[in-house]
A and B are shown apart, each in its own frame.
Chain A
Amino acid sequence: MNFNFINLQPYSNPQYFVYLMIALIPIIIGLYNGRRLKIYEAIFSIVFLFLIFDGSHWQQGVNLIVWLIYEFALTFAYQYYRHHGKNKTWVFSLTVILAIIPLAVVKYLTAFPDNSINFVIGFLGISYVTFKTVQVIMEMRDGTIKKVDPVTYARFLLFFPTISSGPIDRYRRFKKDYDKVPTRDAYITDLQYAVRYLFQGFLYKFVIGWFFGTYWLPKISTAALAVGNANGGLKLSWWLLAYMYCYSMYLFFDFAGYSLFAVSISYFMGIHTPMNFNKPFISKNIKDFWNRWHMTLSFWFRDYIYMRFTFFAMKNKLFKNRIRLSQVSYFLLFLIMGFWHGLTWYYIVYGLFHATAICVNDMWLRFKRKHKKQIPHNKFTEWFAIFLTFNVVCFSFLIFSGFLSQLWFGWK
């Protein structure tokens, strides 16, 4: 294959933004004048998708096309079935399982060491498009989505600002935006947010994130490994603590910056892609944290795994005790999330850690409710709660980073 193709990985460098902004101009002018240039938008999206998956990434592009055909066949077969007035649980379950299978296979295969599989697996963003598909199938089952329009569905899945790493939009919300043109006044407000988010994204990802991730993290990592190995035992050191905070900051600013780009570009296109982060580090407890951190993912897990399972379990009377039920649901949710991140011990421990944390938090809240009078509540306790939550979260990110694995076992 020819490696001299221009290949643009989304939001990776300043040039990307220059090309992107130039290509966006007709869309912006169109929307400003009350018109959505759907054909231009389609061409523009296809070109930018092509630039992600061309050149040395062409195998991923092929995988994407195969995946799309498969999921389209599945979705419309299920729609055909639902339109005939049928709604069997086993058909629904089978459809969901079939929709998830490609992602599951990819996750399973990527757990093998590099070079042991000699073909390209999956494609950039397979998780996020799978989440979107599953969501559509589930809502068709509920009847909240009556009819999926193939063109809008393709647009929704392939909406290129969010294709690589979310945020995960919802079909009905997307369709509503996509089918209408904002008023001039509303669109100017959109532009205002778009510009703000774009620059906030630059600050987050390319400045702050760079300092934490590229400038400090390697130095801290080297020191933590050196001092840790010298200390022996659990190989603990103050550097490890520094690594924990530095990595947490990097993770937030890098990912939040990225999400802001995706939201910003969506706003330029008059689509209100939901926000992914809402000041997660001022969370008062773990539950609050998951309402602020990678929100579109956690809401997806909440709506389509936690709630589904809870209803299922209640209907079938699997648990007598409601508290026990919610605890089991949490463990299920976070275990699945852990497995989704990848099949290594630290992702799974990360999931279990959060499930435990959220259950402990629930216990504490129940305890607090019972002993309202004895337990003080003031500015100090609020700050203490934030401080505690922050440290618990940072510790979970230390697990998540895989650095402990590198420190203890020498592999990541």
Chain B
Amino acid sequence: MSNKRRLWQIFGPVLCAFILLLVVFLIPWERTFSKQTIYEAAASQNTTVFKGSTMKQEAYEDGYVPFYGSSELSRFDPLHPSVIAEKYHRNYRPFLLGGPGSQSLAQFLGMQGTTKQLKNKKAVVIISPQWFTKKGQDPNAFALYYSPLQACNFLLSAKNNKTDRYAAQRLLDMPDVKGEIRISLKQIAAGKKLTGFERFYLENRRRMLVNEDNFFSSFQLRDRVNKIRNRAKVLPSAYSVAALNKVAEEQAAAHTTSNNLGIDNTFFRTRLPKKILKNLKGSQRHFNYVKSVEYADFQLMLEQFAKQHTNVLFIIPPINGKWMKYTGLSSKMYQESVAKMEQQLTSQGFENIADLSRRGNEKYFMQDTIHLGWKGWVAVDQAVRPFMKLPNERYNYDMSNYYYSKKWQNKDNVKRVNLTSKDRLKVK
């Protein structure tokens, strides 16, 4: 056998394999997920689901409503929104999006793939005032939620406006954004158009990433279906707020026996061992959520909702009152930051706000330090339930680029809007 022929026999199959791989990844595959898979995905909080598109798209078209939030979403006690929706056969099911460290910028990017599916529909956002630190999105946490697929989506639909330039600039602050995507983001941030080659590259890259999402995103879902069903068993069969609160009290009382801060036993044992607890005393006295780049990042989320004409319910949770006292976090500062968020929301026409921020001293409202639980979830449901009964409608908002400015980011002493009198809010 000649050497040439032998070489062909060795490397020919390799070459074929690569060509085949490229073809497989570039063909537009269609697929649907089973209802069971979608249900698992909705409750899983998996980052692959967060970063993907197909699952979310399919879910939103099938009665799921996105619940954008962070670590509180994993507080799966019997009053958790997913459990309540299951138990009382609601006309929606929550699709949980976010986890520890998924702040506004990560959420904004994650929303890119579902612009069409959320048009004129509903969404729920659980805001964490803890996001609103001086530097906003933590780059290490962003790495967990960064999705090149959504970055391609963003780039390919980006226009030369303030929102997209600002978003591109912020994404460039994150070290995990690399390669061709980084180069293209620089173009957008500078107000330039993408070149023909860049578009070609991004479109093919997106095609590959969509396929990857299709093939692999149903792997390794965190299966919480049984958890939901088991938790639902403790709930009363007829819905009433009083009965739910009673269950919440019983559950909470049984789970907070190890400490007098009203913190869940497991959390207290694993996350707050003596040494850490001691160090935390008085440690948050100087925390400030009023001046933060996060306000501008949050504006990106709002702009995305406005673009989709989505009707949004915002939930602003409190902090465990006892914990607040222990760490020395300023209640005045906290309320000031809430006032600032509410100003930003209402002035642009976002009027569905469940402001729970003053209820941190109610017993069993929080599951631990800063996370909603038990009675807090019941309070959430009191806002979610009527909101979901509203018909789907096209909502128009009155957006302002002022909220991207340094001036707004650093503004303090924002006057509190009175949420109870709807006519005093800006008319849409």
Contacts and interface: CB of A to CB of B under 8 A. Distances in A.
Interface of A: 3-4, 184-185, 188, 191-192, 195, 199, 214-215
B220 A188 contact: no
Nearest to B11: A195
Contacts of B11: 195
A4 B14 CA distance: 33
Nearest to A187: B3
B76 to A, nearest CB: 15
19 contacts: A3-B175, A4-B175, A184-B3, A185-B3, A188-B3, A188-B6, A188-B7, A188-B10, A191-B7, A191-B10, A192-B6, A192-B10, A195-B10, A195-B11, A195-B14, A199-B14, A214-B220, A215-B219, A215-B220
B2 to A, nearest CB: 10
B173 to A, nearest CB: 13
A215 B219 CA distance: 8
A222 B90 CA distance: 32
A214 B220 CA distance: 9
A184 B175 CA distance: 47
A195 B14 CA distance: 8
Interface in B204-219: 219
Contacts of B219: 215
Q: Which 7 A-B pairs have the closest CB atoms?
A: A192-B10, A188-B6, A195-B10, A191-B10, A4-B175, A188-B3, A195-B14
Given A188-B6, A215-B219, 15 more contacts: A3-B175, A4-B175, A184-B3, A185-B3, A188-B3, A188-B10, A191-B7, A191-B10, A192-B6, A192-B10, A195-B10, A195-B11, A195-B14, A214-B220, A215-B220
Contacts of B6: 188, 192
A188 B10 CA distance: 9
Contacts of B10: 188, 191-192, 195
Nearest to A193: B10
Contacts of A184: 3
Interface of B: 3, 6-7, 10-11, 14, 175, 219-220
A188 B175 CA distance: 43
Contacts of A192: 6, 10
B299 to A, nearest CB: 29
Contacts of A191: 7, 10
Contacts of B14: 195, 199
A195 B8 CA distance: 12
Nearest to B219: A215
A4 B175 CA distance: 8
Contacts of A195: 10-11, 14
B182 to A, nearest CB: 12
A215 B6 CA distance: 39
Contacts of A185: 3
A374 B220 CA distance: 54
Contacts of A199: 14
Nearest to B14: A195
A42 to B, nearest CB: 27
A215 B175 CA distance: 29
A281 B233 CA distance: 47
Contacts of B220: 214-215
Nearest to B6: A188
A195 B219 CA distance: 30
Nearest to A191: B10
Nearest to A196: B10
Nearest to B223: A219
Contacts of A188: 3, 6-7, 10
B41 to A, nearest CB: 16
Contacts of A214: 220
Contacts of B7: 188, 191
A367 to B, nearest CB: 49
A192 B7 CA distance: 8
B340 to A, nearest CB: 33
Contacts of A4: 175
Nearest to A218: B220
A184 B11 CA distance: 16
A240 B219 CA distance: 23
A188 B8 CA distance: 11
A191 B4 CA distance: 13
A188 B2 CA distance: 11
B219 to A, nearest CB: 7
A191 B3 CA distance: 12
Nearest to B7: A188
Nearest to A198: B14
A184 B7 CA distance: 11
Nearest to B175: A4
A3 B220 CA distance: 30
B150 to A, nearest CB: 21
Nearest to A214: B220
A3 B3 CA distance: 46
A185 B6 CA distance: 10
A214 B11 CA distance: 31
Nearest to A4: B175
Nearest to B220: A215
Contacts of B3: 184-185, 188
Nearest to A189: B6
A108 B174 CA distance: 39
Contacts of A215: 219-220
